[in-house]
Amino acid sequence: MNKRLEVLLVGSLVLLSFSCYYDEEIDLSQQLPDVPDTQIISFSVDIAPLFTQNGKDCTVCHNGTIANPNLSSANLYNQLVPAYVVVGDAEASELYQKLPGNNHPIDAGFILSLDEIALVKTWIDRGAEDN
């Protein structure tokens, strides 16, 4: 009987340890950091690199064959605006709604920080300029 109890306990512990699944996702109910009104946000310098630098390569999936939008194009801005960005309204913009860490599958550890999400949100809310 003790052997059965041991097997049951060990089996239960194994099942319990594998049942705890943690999917990295940013909780946007937290207050996003403020981006100062004086900070100029450039699409080419601040926004586009978020999707292609520091090991964050969205083009693995968003390459024109697997998933839209095609983020590998030299016309990245034209791929996003207006199809995925509602200029002046980040909350209504599909790009903002599906940022990695904000309702988007996270592959290969790619997740935007709260600061990066705030930057994208502010860029959209300020008019999503192609600068």
Say which residue the tokens 């199809």 belong to.
83
Q: Is residue 1 in a domain? A: no
Q: Is residue 9 in a domain? A: no
pTM over 0.85: no
Number of folded domains that form the chain: 1
Q: Is residue 14 in a domain? A: no
Q: Is residue 8 in a domain? A: no
Please say whether the beta carbons of 95 and 88 come within 8 A.
Answer: no
pLDDT of residue 88: 97
Q: Is residue 3 in a domain? A: no
Q: Is residue 6 in a domain? A: no
Q: Is residue 17 in a domain? A: no
pLDDT in tens, the chain (131 residues): 577 767 555 555 544 444 433 344 555 556 889 999 999 999 999 999 887 765 567 777 787 787 788 887 778 899 999 999 999 999 999 999 888 665 666 655 567 888 999 999 999 999 999 99
Domain range spanning residue 104? 26-125
Q: Is residue 130 in a domain? A: no
